[in-house]
A and B are shown apart, each in its own frame.
Chain A
Amino acid sequence: MINQSAEYLKESEQISKEQAAEPVKTTEQSSGQTAGPKPGNASPGARRYGLFGVSAYPERQGMEEEQRQSMSRWAGGVILFLMAGVMALLLMAGSGSKGLTVTFDSQGGSEAAVQSVPFGGTVEEPDPVARPGYVMKGWSVTPDGSQPWDFDQDTVTEALTLYAVWEADPG
């Protein structure tokens, strides 16, 4: 699949070399349209400029060997520097992070302690909270109790507050 296109490219480069050997109007015109490569730098048929008259990368063909080596050494240094930087950031931030905070809003009942849960972890069910005249129905992500929290199954992916759901005690 890739080989096919590679062959195709070779073919097209071949054609351009042939064309460049004998000056043809089309190449003349198009190189005039773009910013115009410096004469004598690029070998015939070599890629001169990108599609847009500006190349994202420097022209390899027209570059002195010394300059190329110096640039590649710089690139190597930058790679090592960025690698070290990313690792340092990771270690620094990773050692400081305490996980995601899960707070409990007992909605009128007794307090439950805040928990710090790692991403993807489960919340430990807090000690039962009490509210006179009410029966605890469970904990929920929403204050109205529409999304009950399953302490065995549900995992934490962001800091959240769990709300106690109460039902009036008939007795």
Chain B
Amino acid sequence: MKNPVNALKQTSERYKTLDAKDRKKFWIDGLLNNAIYIILVIFLIYTYMKNSNIASASSAVNLLNLVAANLPMALGIGGCIVLTGTDLSAGRVVGLTGAISASLLQATTYINKFYADMGEVPIIAVILLAMLIGGVVGLVNGFFVAKFQLHPFIVTLATQLIVYGACLLYYMSNGNNGQPISGLSDKYTNFVKGTILPKIGGQSIPNYVIYALIVLAIMWFIWNKTPFGKNMFAVGSNPEAAKVSGVNVFLTTVMVHTLAGITYGYTGFIDAARIASNTANSGQNYESDAIAACVIGGVSFVGGTGTIGGVVLGVVLLRIIFVCLNYLAIDQNLQYIIKGAIILLACSIDMRKYLTKK
């Protein structure tokens, strides 16, 4: 890790040697490259002025929870973006796996039980099933992308529709008639939302924060310490060169998408308990948040660049912005516009860095 104090010293040394024209460029580059951070600081100050509740323990824990809920998915999509691709099916996979998890883990005493005659299902089986379903969708994505060199935009758009259709059918099946699936068993709710950590400032931290840390550690290991992770970056940066140097491009691409699918399945399992009342629209647009977080965190669409730390940073930054919007009680509809503008902004910054790079 770079020492921030030393880095700052070096920058100021370098700045002294610049002439007037280069100094102007230095400030303009600084402003444009750090636009997101500048917006973030202004958002925080403005929000604090309007509603000082944001500087509280509950707001910090709330932020931590939101980051933990959104991180695994962003890590999955990050892999697809490293391959210069994307994944639009993510949100709908979360919806489907969430519905399946919730329906299997309803309280046995609940009246409108989805599977009325079924006893208790072990939680571990359900989480594995959710990850399996996500993984299968990812596998299909990866197969079409790798075999036919189709752009993931098209492939995942198709699987998004298929999965959404399956999700709607699932809600209509078993006499459920499209009703929300709720009444989850205490065991399941406690597994996800219960707490074994000590309270911070009177706020309890749910278990899914711990699970998110575990997922983070696993993904860090996969990206940085396994041949698969290195192949992923090689393929993303230059597929031709990777192929020539003996990397199995087909297998790597399929595996990246499958891994991404597994993270969506996991997110579906967690989200079903986190949100408690699941409808067919659960998970909608989750992929846009995850893609935005990756781009903000420096996982470039150029391909082959990106770090786990960057994805974490991107998720945190994006969540802080949304928490600010919540604390300002800004209209939900307007939040979509701001979200879209921030994605475009992040892409423009990324593009500008790419173009000006020597």
Contacts and interface: CB of A to CB of B under 8 A. Distances in A.
Binding between chains A and B: yes
B341 A82 contact: yes
Contacts of B58: 120, 155
B333 to A, nearest CB: 10
B281 interface: no
A93 B326 CA distance: 11
Interface in B292-341: 301-304, 307, 325-331, 334, 337-338, 341
B72 interface: no
B149 interface: yes
B236 A51 contact: yes
Interface stretch (A4-12, A138-146, A163-171): A4-12
Contacts of B50: 94, 118
A129 interface: no
A115 interface: no
A15 B348 CA distance: 32
B176 to A, nearest CB: 24
A27 B307 contact: no
Contacts, number: 184
Contact of A93 (B53, B302, B334, B357): B334
Interface residues of A, number: 59
Contacts of A45: 241
Nearest to B327: A119
Given A9-B238, A118-B327, A155-B53, A82 B243 contact: no
Given A2-B307, A30-B240, A76-B28, A93 B54 contact: no
Q: Chain B: interface residue count, which band?
A: 35 or more
A21 interface: no
Nearest to A87: B42
Mostly helix, strand, loop or mixed at chain B's interface? helix
B348 A72 contact: no
A41 to B, nearest CB: 15
Contact of A12 (B51, B225, B234, B345): B234
Contact of A15 (B35, B241, B307, B341): B241
B150 A118 contact: no
Nearest to A56: B301
Mostly helix, strand, loop or mixed at chain A's interface? helix
B352 A76 contact: yes
B341 A51 contact: no
Interface in B78-108: 83-85
B342 A86 contact: yes
Contacts of A87: 39, 42
A80 to B, nearest CB: 7
Given A79-B352, A118-B53, A13 B241 contact: yes
Interface in B1-60: 28, 32, 35, 38-39, 42-43, 46-47, 50-51, 53-54, 56, 58-59
14 contacts: A4-B230, A5-B230, A8-B233, A9-B233, A9-B237, A16-B241, A34-B149, A52-B149, A56-B301, A72-B352, A90-B330, A93-B328, A118-B329, A119-B329
Given A12-B247, A47-B241, A78-B344, 16 more contacts: A5-B230, A9-B237, A12-B238, A16-B245, A51-B145, A53-B151, A60-B354, A68-B355, A80-B35, A83-B35, A89-B338, A90-B328, A118-B51, A120-B51, A120-B327, A157-B326
Interface of B: 28, 32, 35, 38-39, 42-43, 46-47, 50-51, 53-54, 56, 58-59, 83-85, 145, 149-152, 224-225, 229-230, 233-245, 247, 249, 253, 301-304, 307, 325-331, 334, 337-338, 341-342, 344-345, 348-349, 351-352, 354-357
